[in-house]
Structure 1
Amino acid sequence: HKGSAFGALGEAPQPTTEHFENRLWAAFSTLDKTREVWVEDESRHIGRVALPDALFRQLREAPLLFVDRPIDVRADRLVKDYGTFDRKELAAAVERIRKRLGPQHCKNALEALEAGDLRAVALITLRYYDKSYAHGAAQRNADRVFRIEAAGLTLEALVDELRSRRSIPSR
């Protein structure tokens, strides 16, 4: 999420695409090539940088494990992660997704922010992000998408569930 409208808050500016690709190569070159690698699902562009074509194609062909957590849990996490940031920075982040949120949702989010209701802001923005994630998953081969219901799972139980999915065949 560091490339999202909110993810850059409190972070150094993104590198150039070339620097990003060099850092990716350096990180991947240290990995054991006999072991699988788990990568967060991403769109082609992460903020202002782009994934290399070969990596993006490989990600699109790989199985997708979609961890489905309740919206209330996710909203609480967003408030925890972003709630300490300056309200002007948060408002600017909401404005960056205005077109995709729609004018009324954007207005509602900004009003909630002004009122100090960060949870409402999180719930409104999650609508946009959920649509975006659903659209991305719909572009994938349906027999390669596996939903994991994480409601009520402890972190340890979720890790166990993810590890149990290692037997999903790759292509």
Structure 2
Amino acid sequence: MGEPTLDLESLANHRGSSFGALDGVAQPTTEQFENLIWHALREIAPERPIWVEDESMMIGRVKIPDALYDQMRTARLYFVDMPKADRAARLVVDYGARDKTTLAEAILRIQKRMGPQHCRQALEALDAGDLRSVALITLGYYDKAYLRGTSSRSPDRITTIPVRASELRTLATQLKDDVTT
């Protein structure tokens, strides 16, 4: 779409969840991460809006710099509300080729927050090869955590946009037009 983005997960070599480190690529140190962010921002014209995925303060074991994180917390948030089934299908594509042991370890890392019943159900689904169910169960945990994180933000700065996976390109065009007008 030609819009400037700051891909923090890519710079951190981590997808920002218990499953984020599954690619086997080492994360930079926090200092290296900050330098990577600085170099990425330096390439963007200062008058242009920058698109950044909403993240928690930590991405894996690296910390988003306070000034950037604070700015992200006060910036307008476009909450792309995609149906769970669409998101689950995307997760199966993104993570489905991973070995079961690695996926099970990622599920076990969030067991305490996910709850023992949901953890057991996810592990049973994984053992049965039902990756769609694994994705749906873990999305329940991640959705609650994300909504908790957005609850501290000013409601007038959040725009919720219901969208299907098949409509994402159209949505991107609409958001670009909304921000630049």
- Cα pair distance change 1:167/1:139, threshold 3 Å: farther
Alignment coverage as a number of residue pairs: 168
What residue ranges of structure 1 are gaps of 5+ in the alignment?
A: none
Aligned residues of 1:3 and 1:48 also touching (Cα < 8 A): no
Amino acid in the other structure paired with 2:102: E
Structure 1 residue 165 displacement after superposition: 2.6
Q: TM-score, normalised to structure 2's length?
A: 0.88
| Alpha-carbon distance in structure 1 between the residues aligned to 2:78 and 2:134 | 27
| Alpha-carbon distance in structure 2 between the residues aligned to 1:116 and 1:144 | 41
Aligned residues of 2:16 and 2:55 also touching (Cα < 8 A): no
Structure 1 residue 139 displacement after superposition: 1.0
Q: Residue 113 of structure 2 aligns with which residue?
A: 100
Identity of aligned residues (%): 53
Q: TM-score, normalised to structure 1's length?
A: 0.93
Q: Deviations over 1:26-52 (max 9, x none)?
A: 111111111111100111111111110
Q: Residue 49 of structure 1 aligns with which residue?
A: 62
Structure 1 residue 153 displacement after superposition: 5.1
Higher relative contact order (CA 8 A, sep 6+): 1
Aligned residues of 1:16 and 1:49 also touching (Cα < 8 A): yes
| Alpha-carbon distance in structure 2 between the residues aligned to 1:125 and 1:41 | 19
| Alpha-carbon distance in structure 2 between the residues aligned to 1:148 and 1:65 | 7
Q: Give me the CA root mean square deviation.
A: 1.5
Structure 1 residue 161 displacement after superposition: 2.3
Moved over 4 A (4+): none
Structure 1 residue 167 displacement after superposition: 5.6
Q: Residue 90 of structure 2 aligns with which residue?
A: 77
